Amino acid sequence: MTDDLNLSARYVCNPDVVLREEDEDGGLLFNPDTNQVKIVNPTGLFIWKQFNTPNDFEFVVQAVIDSFEDVPLDEVRKDVEEFLSGMVLNGFIGEELS
């Protein structure tokens, strides 16, 4: 597991980030705070949308398992963790403040 990611925390999309969906190809995320653009594939876009409202890591892992066929749990956990870690590191997603 990633050392700097609190997997028990709830995370939410940065409200300043703009999403442009590209049909079945995924989408583009633009963070005006950092001028960064991220291209996300359809799975990344699905994961991104799970954080439109505050959610935790386990909720998103379960959402992926429920929505995609024949995905191994270990692989889903690894992929969601990598995606979330990168998004947090680059300011696209943040930890919900209570």
* Digitized pLDDT (tens) for each residue of the chain, 98 residues in all: 455 788 889 999 999 999 999 878 899 999 999 999 999 999 999 999 999 999 999 999 999 999 999 999 999 999 999 999 999 999 999 999 87
pLDDT at 1: 46
What's the whole-model pTM score?
A: 0.90
pLDDT at 3: 55
pLDDT at 8: 86
Residues contacting 1, CB < 8 A, separation 6+: 7, 81
Buried b / exposed e over 26-49, threshold 16 CB at 10 Å, is bbebbbeeeeeebebeebbbbbbe
Domains of the chain and CATH, by start: 10-91 (3.90.930.70)
d(CA 15, CA 96) in angstroms, rounded, equals 12
